[in-house]
Structure 1
Amino acid sequence: MTRLNSFTVADFHLPFGNSKHPQAARANVEATAWVVRHELVTDATEQFTGIGCGHLAGRVSGEVGYDRVLLLAEWMAWSFVLDDQHDHLIRTGDVAAWEPVAEAITTYVETGRVGSSSPRRNPLVNGFVDLCDRILGGMSETTAARYRAHVAMMLRSLDQEAGNREAPGRPSVEDYIVMRRHSSQLLPMMDMVEAGLGIDLPRRIHGLAAFQELIASAIDIISWGNDVFSLPKEYACGDHNNLVSLISFHERCSLSDAVRAVESRIQIRIEEYLAGKKHLFEVLDADGTTTPELRETVSRCVRSYEDWIIGTDLWQRYECTRYSDERFAAGLESAYTRPDLISVA
């Protein structure tokens, strides 16, 4: 693959406001210190700090205390290392080495224990244990169950991504969109923000088709926008897990035309989100059991999704160096990636 010529990411015209926690910069520094302390990153810490995990956490957390912003920033830092290390294994053809680490993480989130044969000293596992205990400690039983399920689906989606890169063909656009909702790693983080805001919606509300479609549309907007930002890197290294690349391939059009097609899809999805929000409240209002308090809680949750939509866009454009870094744009691994990280027993 050749390097993609630079292009300007268009304004997605997101009709939402956003504010950032006043201590977001502090959370960014402390999240980097956390990954260094857990030996997830040992070199090029300045490059890692440039990702801006604290800035992103500060944009999507709403009005919560600093401890919650920092915890989310640390989780984001861990998830970026997870993503980059998994990518390293795909590049080196050693995806099998990922299995015991993924199994240890899955086992811990389900049982609260790491098996005797699991790589407990591995920094990814050790870091997850530290985070998971603190995250679950601040969640209701309902939210914790959702978080556990979302972590498991996130890990499975990484296996799907690896399969897509190893397969001779490419996934359909439709299959990719469904997978991307989990490989984005957004759902566990959204659970964390809801818990931080004191939002504890009943299972029946989260299970409503109208509610699930609203979440899906929010995640699609965020994920598709990220695919535009990350296209240079993924194109350069031959990664087909990108909506732009898949549309270019399946519709036999240029990458430039595919970028415009994705931008058009994002605008349509925004309209679908707004229509879906209206429909959700119509469903709630038609249900005689919806109390004013429950309606207000749903409104706060929906507002949180809108913070995610606009907050991630602003972070990618103005506060994150990841997508403008020359190594990233050239399809190279991040300088902070530890080639030996997964092998640590």
Structure 2
Amino acid sequence: MPAHGLAILGSGIFAKEAHLPALAALGGAVDVKAVYSRSRKSSTEFAEAAQEKLGLKHKLDVYNEEDEGRSLDSLLARPDIKAVIVVLPITLQPDIVRKALAAGKHVLSEKPVAPDVASGRALIEEYEAKYKPQGLVWRVAENFETEPGFQAAQRIVHGGKLGTIKYYNARAYSWVDTHSKWYNTPWRTVPDYQGGFLLDGGVHTIAVLRKVLPSSFTSLSAYASLAKDILKPHDTINAVVASDDNSHGIIELSWGTPVQSRVTEAHSSISITGDKGWLEATRVGENIRVVVRTAVLDENGKPVWDEEKKLWKETEEVIEEKSCGVEKEIESWLRAVDGEDDGLDAPRGTLVDVAFIEAALNSKGTPVDLKKLVTG
């Protein structure tokens, strides 16, 4: 993979703590040249951190809205920068993506694709009509979609090992309080987008289900609520969802846990059940573990009874993969820029994730047609 002239747009926590280590792991595949942030201070601090983390011999060029001649437009005018990674607040990203595409840059923008379905759909349609024909590649950085552990789960389900999928379940709980570094990011403390942390973080869980399940979501019925006053407007969703293949599931998402034990004891996981077995995917430390259990069948396809244990026989397979989704999403995007498109993180796919959250926030128990919401 040839080195790509790259700029980072955004200098916050995730840019420093996730994107920089991922870029460092990719080594010679990238040539990071510049950083942009709205303030001089944050862009300068990021440039210093990047030089150390990436082992650069040169200093990153710093762009911001305070120094004359160093604006985002100036950065995007540079011919040696071919691609940008956008790691900015949710509501800012669509306009920045447009601006970067208009400047002829390939774009990887952080999830979610947009703050709402309508603006996301409009951006996607503009990209597909105007910029994709020019050969520009835009992907949405949904790192859960590219995690090797979740991809292993997808191969198992799509390969038929579990048989016909019947039902599924997802539980994602998180602890956020006023001491959290994520909460103290100004744009998260008082969010100007629907759902707060549910949109920011909830799309991850939906993305996994979207990739692992063998068929698309069709509808959902849900209730959304606020359990913790600091996390307005909503922090909890409970949804019942149906899929094209007549399977169905229950999805629980909450950032509004009252104490940390609600997170540690809640057993956050994703499980998929078919007529031949089931799997469960969980995070264990820095890894993603997938446990697959299937029925042992005889030559006639009938379950086998273990007389000694007085149980139906079953097999167990454990797959454990290191979590490295951010690295993999950047690598996948760069390969797409080089003409090797694996289909991961396509904007239209990630629009489904936003649609799910938006539908759940507004359902109030009434079924919502998810396909209609996505297509408009």
Normalization by structure 1: what TM-score?
Answer: 0.23
- Bigger fraction of residues in strand: 2
Normalization by structure 2: what TM-score?
Answer: 0.22
Tell me: higher relative CO, structure 1 or 2? Use CA pairs within 8 A at least 6 residues apart: 1
